Structure 1
Amino acid sequence: MPSPSHKPYRGRFAPTPSGPLHFGSLVAAVGSYLDARARNGQWLLRVEDIDPPRELKGAADDILRTLEAHGFEWDEEVVYQSRRNAAYADALARLDVAGLTYGCACTRKEIADSATRGIEGLVYPGTCRNGLATGRTPRAWRIRVPDGSIQFDDRIQGPVSQQLGSEIGDFILKRADGLYSYQLAVVVDDADAGITDIVRGADLKLSTPRQIYLQHCLGVPTPSYAHLPLALNRQGDKLSKQNLAKPLDAARAAASLADALRFLGMQPPLDANLADLPSLWQWAIANWDIRQVPTGDTASKPDYDDATQARAI
């Protein structure tokens, strides 16, 4: 099945090097990889090391080794966001020339004192939208967002609609510490790489309308999106590096891959030789169907051993 753009499929996996990969990371990697390979597409790898304060020394190399141990093979060289500041600066300049950005002098406390609660944090009240007060200098750069809804059809979650103005507000493109925002970087990176299809975790679904808006503003194509269910621990929290999710163990790569396949709605043959990682990948690519992936609260909750202890939401 061709991608909506009718261009050759180009997908990607983009981990943040804030710690080792865990089962939730594996689910996202496996879903994106299978969708690309099952459609005879390319699968690229990007390390999103744009936020040094969040990074763990050595994590990027560890991520690459873990992916290799689990049988992933990526096309082209690995892209590192930390080396692409010039591309982000150019995109920001283009948006500024178009009159879409403005400098913001507000501190976090000032915003918190006057902002309303949105669907993903505080909605910026627009204090600096029409110019800075006398004596104030810009700390960050924001983009003006319009009233009205941004909509897209998620291949897993179905139709998604967001009122960007009232639910998110004018969002930051360049932070007060001089770092470029995730939203800007990911749009520029995906466009420059020619990404046609994005398969990633549902925790990024709320970011997608912002990215679609930036794509429109920059005049670049909008990829197809599919957001996979998240893996939870026994306490009902999303598996993450922040809550100390257990790192993947290369010694049990085939078993972890089989767990991820079951989590994504697949049923590897019971007689499969799980020690034979290439054969398991071959079976998974041949049998991948994104329509089998669980959605929302209706996801199946297969049993996992103590190394995984995850369920879908």
Structure 2
Amino acid sequence: MNRIPSVNLSDFISGDPSRKQDFVNAIGSAYEEIGFVSLKNHFLDDNLVEALYKEVKNFFELPLSVKEKYEIPGIGGQRGYVSFGKESAKGKKEGDLKEFWHFGQYVENDDKLKLEYHDNIIVDELPEFNTTGKQAYKMLEKTAKYVLRALALHLELEEFYFDEFIFNGNSILRPIHYPPIKEEPKEAVRAAAHGDINLITLLMGAQGKGLQVQNHNGDWIDAIADPDELMINVGDMLSRHTNNRLKSTVHRVVNPPKELWGKSRYSIPFFMHPISTMKLDVLPNCIDAKNPKQFEDITAGEFLKERLIELGLIKK
């Protein structure tokens, strides 16, 4: 496959059983073949998208001394600001050429989870940054819920199988700023080749070249969405849960041509995580004689901790 398939969420929620099944078939096939789709008619309206990008740019244009007030030690970057070059891909020494922010879950009716998760960090200088981020978080979470419902049906599970695991899940909204490149990078790129940790990732800002996906032949292909689309990919948790039936595809963000080094790039992924107690044990209906069980039993919380250690964000 040399292009990213496009699907329309309106088909799934149309009330027409035929259109709904066509969506399930299309997204399931795409995730088995390449692990990425672009999605039209999600729950983010144009005004919210415009407001979010405005506030994100406002934040990253703040002086570094201000931004660093919101970089909280000891929490593995799970909330607030993470400064330039702090994160590296698994197996890479060089830090990625980016800075970013983390909005986390807004827990409802669960005091235990409120204690488990870190509080969201409030930016005093930009009140709209906080409220707009929360609105976008909720709409992306809603979109992800319907995508997972479609995937549950594709996997021959009950449609609402994932709902209990993603309600109050440990999901992250990450506005990223790739600053202008001022000198020839030695080894670093904007985001080195990696697979995502979570169930699925919803990406805003995949318009224009930069994001690349590795297909089954090992070729890198450009992943470019239309302005009204989200790019959505499978993460390692879902790949593991489905015995690699749904593919967590390696992807990267390459440096632009030299003539574009002076421009910033912004992208805003939403990492859909379940609650930490979700068992990622391989689903029985994804195991057969040709596809024996590939992964040991583990919870989502245990798996996340392993990966954060590998990324250098927390210590053992």
Higher helix share: 1
- TM-score of the pair, normalised by structure 1: 0.27
- TM-score of the pair, normalised by structure 2: 0.27
Q: Which one has the largest radius of gyration?
A: 1
